[in-house]
Amino acid sequence: MATTRPFAPFEWMIAWRYLRARRAEGGVSVMTWISLIGITLAVFALIAVLSVRSGFRAEFVDTILGANAHVTVYQFGEVGANGRVDRSIAEYEALAARIAEVPGVTRVAPLVRQQVMANNGQSNAGVEVYGIAPENLLTIPRIAGSDQAQGDITRFSEGVAVGIGVANTLGVGVGDRIKLISPNGVKTAFGTSPRVNAYEVVYIFAAGRYDIDRTRVYLPIEDAQIFFNREGIADELEVMVEDPEDVDNIAVPLLQAAGERGQIWTWRDASGSFLNALDIEDRVMFVIMAVLVLIAAMNIVSGLIMLVKNKGRDIGILRTMGLTEGAVMRVFFICGAFTGIIGTVMGVILGCLFALYVDQIFGFVNYLSGGTAWDASIRGIYFLPAQLQLNDVLSAIGLSLGLSFVVTIFPARRAARMNPVEALRYE
């Protein structure tokens, strides 16, 4: 007996006629639409979650690397004559020169870092002062390259640079003066009096991180050394490297250059637990979304079972005409697979559109919620980021099509193994 090649045109024709159910078979048509919509929404949700996941991690890491040291070098504390632990670096220029010679290091900046109170009138804010050289401040991307910056960063040597959150809390703008109040001031016979000094705000930056913008103040290192009684010394060294993602491989050379008392603290040490939590959450969310896709794909099974039941007479006639079991199986496999393919395509389109226009969508949602949809003080960043990546889209497509094809096999095999005599007995 002559055989036809798999997925011949007549098989596609029969499958297409079955998908276009008549009004009397409206149940099959409804189940097909339910399956189609379910696959579409599941794939859309999967791509949306994956894109937001990728965007959030990328934005979080970028704000870390763009406004903080990739590696912080400091020294073991020594107990001084007053009984206090001293971690200051006396010969910081020589130490910075040694560290700068380590392959992969792009910049080394001595810092004076202290916590103080900032004041303007009746407004106060706890801030962290970073004493840094003006030329080094210009190399910090999220500070010098802030798209919401106000003022002139080239005037940094004449005053202070403050985060936009600090400026809003104190109610100051460029040209205003703020007071920095340190409790560790001048020692007198009546105790230690706070040290107070006023500085002009010459630059306001927005680093993109709530905690940075809310607490950080930059002060020229010479002024910081005078203000904190740390002339000729630094608290730590801020090190930038060529490849922050590969910072662990440069840790040993940095420790060797830092000397016996040297210690290092990388950006991964500071944020590693949060990044690990994000990775775990990513895997869990992918599994949950995969289950949703599976549930949506199971609707295809229900629709195909109903289709096979309604088309029992047709199957019997086709088998008696010489159609093979394989041909019947492929006909119903095409019916289910076609639903999965169309739903996947529509879901990919919706998911990609969501990732591309997430700012507009989020802005509308935020407007409807009265501006409370996103709390930067909790999430750290100011907006919902989304980053569309090819790997995420391909993962969603592969998962959806794979599940759609697999679940289709069972009802298709059931149709192929139907006995034509039993199918026609009561017709």
Tens of pLDDT, residues 310-339: 666 666 666 666 667 677 777 778 888 888
pLDDT at 278 over 70: yes
pLDDT at 162 over 50: yes
Instruction: Tell me the mean pLDDT in the region 385-413.
Output: 87
Q: What percent of the chain has pLDDT over 70?
A: 79
Q: Tell me how long the chain is.
A: 427
pLDDT for 121: 87
pLDDT band at 52 (very low <50, low <70, confident <90, very high): confident
80: CB partners within 8 A, 6+ apart: 86
Q: Across all residues in the chain, what is the average pLDDT?
A: 82
Say which residue, 421 or 133, is predicted with more confidence: 133
pLDDT for 1: 42
pLDDT at 127 over 70: yes
pLDDT for 109: 92
Of 8-12, 62-66, 257-261, 398-402, which gets the smallest average pLDDT? 8-12
Of 54-58, 102-106, 288-292, 374-378, which gets the smallest average pLDDT? 374-378
pLDDT digit string (tens) for 33-48? 888 888 999 999 999 9
pLDDT digit string (tens) for 81-94? 555 666 788 888 99
pLDDT for 375: 59
- Determine contact, residues 232/225, Cβ cutoff 8 Å: yes
pLDDT for 304: 77
Per-range mean pLDDT, top range of 158-172, 247-261, 327-341: 158-172
CA distance 336 to 411: 9
pLDDT band at 370 (very low <50, low <70, confident <90, very high): low
Instruction: Tell me the mean pLDDT in the region 175-201.
Output: 79
CA distance 128 to 136: 18
CA distance 140 to 149: 13
CA distance 341 to 397: 9
pLDDT for 344: 93
Say which residue, 425 or 40, is predicted with more confidence: 40
Tokens of 29: 């048509």
Tokens of 111: 């810092």
Say which residue, 367 or 246, is predicted with more confidence: 246
Burial call 368-388: b when 16+ CB within 10 Å, e when fewer: eeeeeeeebeeebbbbbbbbb
Q: H or E element: which one contains 178?
A: strand 177-188
CA distance 155 to 56: 34
pLDDT for 290: 87
pLDDT for 23: 47
Distance of CA 19 to the CA centre of its chain: 41
pLDDT for 24: 46
pLDDT for 295: 87
Burial of 185 (0-12, 13-18, 19+ CB in 10 A): middle
Burial call 145-163: b when 16+ CB within 10 Å, e when fewer: ebeebbbebeebeebbbbb
Instruction: Tell me the mean pLDDT in the region 406-416.
Output: 79
State which amino acid sits at residue 336.
G
167: CB partners within 8 A, 6+ apart: 173, 201, 204
pTM of the model: 0.74
Instruction: Tell me the mean pLDDT in the region 20-39.
Output: 68
pLDDT for 179: 93
